[in-house]
Chain A
Amino acid sequence: MKKSLFALVAFILILSLGLAGCNSSKTSSDGNGKKGGDGGGVMIYGKGGDAVGLDPAHETDGESFIVTEQIFEPLLSYKKENTDVQPGLAKSWEISKDNLKYTLKLEEGIKFHDGTDFNAEAVVKNFERWMNGDAAKFPYYASMFGGYKKDKAHVIKEVKAVDKNTVQFTLKRPQAPFLKNLAMSPFAISSPAAIEKYGDKIGQNPVGTGPFKFKEWKRDATITVVKNDSYWKKGLPKLDGVTFKVIKDNSARMNALTKGEVDLIDNVNPSELDKIKSNNKLQVFERPSMNVAYLGFNTEKAPFNKKEVRQAINYLVNKDELIKNFYNGTAEAAATPLPSAIAGQNKDVKDYGYNETKAKELLKKAGLEKGFKMDLWAMPVSRPYMPDGKKIAEAIQANLKKVNIDANIVTFDWGVYLEKIRKGESPAFLIGWTGDNGDADNFLYSLLDKDTINSNNYSRYNSPAVHKLLIEAQSTADEAKREVLYKKAEKIIHEDAPWVPLVHAKPILGGTSKIKDFYPHPKGSQSFVEVSMTK
């Protein structure tokens, strides 16, 4: 009895030793794989917040897109440094004379990560899925294509597979930025087989055609993607994988970079810009500015349903001070929603500017000269357009106090925060937007048209005049004419003041000097397909 027990224990010990040996040898070979190769390796990317979900069509935020960009690809893509459209999964396209038919030729022989063929059928299935959805499932779709299949304003009449590698889109009315829309991160193509297999859980099990395959997601900690060995572009990706590590605190993320725990970080505190510049082991990446940070009002909720109140608060925000104290000068004051990089920005719209007396007059006109109490929502995470929302909120709070407006600063987890403001639960909130396709339409129509209430029009701004202008601009092909229309719309928006446009920020990324061929894209996220790391 005793002997057999001894033998058993000895056996277990030997077995565990053997297993441990297996385990360690496996990791070491993995480690060799990572370190070796030509400029490969695993890049660790420090980000400020976790992804909300990994089904790109379901998401609207940059923290999700930076991951989905690696796993998925849209039909078309953008140039490295701007938002000009270039071939992606579709190698060429033709537009009919009336601007209503778009025929796209697809690349041949591409496979999704799960082995399913990428073809016209897959594209059609993806579009059908989105257009048969609703605002809760695919919030971004409506912002770009006017609604869903059942809606009158929906732009796409039909998506059809002409043959195995040709897709044809038929529109109800011309949409000038249609090709740019197709290239946006949310409209990347998922494997139809995976959609069927995972159903509602597709957001945790993304399967695309991109340069990296999804491996693992530990909530609020890491997301791991690994090299797609059978990627259709030869010789790419150069990296063996990317690990996205969530480090919420800006300075902790910066510390991790300095210590070499991560290779690349986003949302660097503007105040720490000099620290990176003076360190020769680090380098600064400046993302071209294509964003706007704003204080939005829920125009359906009292007292912000009154234009005077909204204008009054516009007079109470001192943007220059905010830029100096919280952006370290790396931003410009916003007068209209459009940043200067986007064609159509109306330079004639003069900012409200800080003016306490005018604010008081307007409040008196609204019958609120005694002030009121309000909740001011501040985002919990650092965003490229706003490094620290709570501090901006505190600064605004102090200015509101001067006219007896008592603002109570409220915050939630990031996912909850977005969901609640989308549903219109917040009276006033800080948020921002990074343009996803470089078109004015992606700002004004996505954020301020009545069609996009419950989608990205968080302030629930409903102006028929603006709607008319924006739809007209969408349907016009002539760029000069479109600009005139957008400028008119901006003027009305300025007068109606559904927002306090705060700033257009220049987001800063920091990386180790090992990183090569990384170009931050103005749209806020980009694929790491060409990035490599020297040893």
Chain B
Amino acid sequence: MAELAGTTPPITNPTAAQEERVISPWRDAWRSFRKNKLAMAGMFLVAFFILIAIIAPLIAPYSYDVQKMADKHLAPSAAHWFGTDEFGRDILTRIIYGARISIWVGCISVAGSVIVGSTLGVIAGYYGRFIDMIISRVFDIILAFPSILLAIAVVSVLGPSLRNALIAIALINVPIFGRLVRSKVLSVKQEEYISAAKAIGMKDSRILFQHVLPNSMAPIIVQGTLAIATAIIEAAALGFLGLGAQPPTPEWGKMLADSKDFILDAPWTVIFPGLAIMLTVLGFNLMGDGLRDALDPKMKN
């Protein structure tokens, strides 16, 4: 008995020791991500913009839609750090609120395309045959259009509004994720653990959602982060063309469009929204690149 009791710790100990040695792939990725200075800078940029988007009402010095015509085109000063626009509205405030819109549009539209794209991709990759053919050809067709042109066409049909711009951006990104997931599924499908799962009679849905999809996650995350950056640019482009957010929404692209006539007379009306777009997109791009380096097993030394 005493012997038995004595043997218990050695059984647990090796596992504990093993856990210390064998690090989960996510943690490993985080480690290599943290080492990448550019990626960390990107993450801080993104975190910064998300933070100001969340606490916008607390930090915005003015209201984004109250106009004060007499204050037209005031240069940046202590009262208005980024100056004022044609309607006498504080540009800093509008950029802070604009962060909400851009990040919201970026994240939601990409989330939408990830969900739809990966579902279609998984179905196409796993079942193959004619389902694959139909889905893949639809993807090809969508990808054959220049993305912004397709977005413009979708918005023209649905009518210009922020929601429709979001739908359009989600739609044009669907095939990107669809293709990605499909190719990943095709390779995962050949793995032995999938054959094993099939052999013990697991249902397709369980195999798909518990084995195939989690093992295809890494490229989705990388592509997703990069796609948010493109989505933000596309939303700004649609806003610039008057097809996205409608006034008085402080969308960055629309702010650019409204002030482009004053690029010489009141450059701050153009510079600051432009900078905001650039920095957010840069942040997501750097972060996405870092994630790619961290998550891709081939990139490991």
Contact = CB atoms under 8 A, between A and B. Distances in A.
Interface of A: 250-251, 269, 271-272, 318, 321-322, 324-326, 390-391, 393-395, 397-399, 401, 408-409, 411
B247 A393 contact: yes
A395 B72 contact: no
23 contacts: A250-B261, A251-B260, A269-B261, A271-B265, A272-B261, A321-B69, A321-B70, A322-B69, A324-B72, A325-B86, A390-B242, A391-B86, A391-B258, A393-B247, A394-B87, A394-B247, A395-B67, A397-B248, A398-B65, A398-B248, A401-B65, A409-B247, A411-B242
B69 A325 contact: yes
B262 interface: yes
B276 to A, nearest CB: 20
B188 to A, nearest CB: 48
Contacts of A395: 67, 69, 87
Nearest to B265: A271
A408 B246 contact: yes
Given A325-B72, A409-B246, A409-B247, A398 B261 contact: no
Contacts of B65: 398, 401
A307 to B, nearest CB: 27
Which A-B residue pairs are the 3 nearest by beta carbons? A321-B69, A394-B247, A251-B261
B261 A271 contact: yes
A269 B260 CA distance: 12
Interface string B36-61: 00000000000000000000000000
Interface-centre pick from B66, B88, B246 (highest chain A CB count, 10 A):
B246
B261 A325 contact: no
Nearest to A324: B69
B247 A397 contact: yes
Interface of B: 65-67, 69-70, 72, 86-88, 242, 246-248, 258, 260-262, 265
A394 B260 CA distance: 17
B265 to A, nearest CB: 7
A398 to B, nearest CB: 4
Contact of B262 (A271, A394, A397, A409): A271
B236 to A, nearest CB: 18
Contacts of B72: 324-325
A398 B66 CA distance: 7
Contact of A398 (B67, B246, B265): B67
A251 B248 CA distance: 22
A394 B67 CA distance: 10
A199 to B, nearest CB: 31
Contact of B248 (A271, A272, A326, A394): A394
A272 B261 CA distance: 9
A398 B87 contact: yes
A282 to B, nearest CB: 16
Contacts of A271: 261-262, 265
A496 B67 CA distance: 29
Nearest to A402: B66
A324 B86 CA distance: 10
Given A250-B261, A271-B265, A325-B87, A318 B247 contact: no
Contacts of A411: 242
Contacts of A398: 65-67, 87, 248
Contacts of A269: 261
Contacts of B261: 250-251, 269, 271-272
A411 B261 CA distance: 20
Contacts of A318: 69
Nearest to B261: A251
Interface-centre pick from A269, A394, A399 (highest chain B CB count, 10 A):
A394
Contacts of B70: 321
Contacts of A399: 67
A146 B72 CA distance: 46
A277 B67 CA distance: 31
A324 B68 CA distance: 12
B217 to A, nearest CB: 41
B53 to A, nearest CB: 23
Contact of B247 (A321, A324, A325, A390): A390
A467 to B, nearest CB: 38
B172 to A, nearest CB: 24
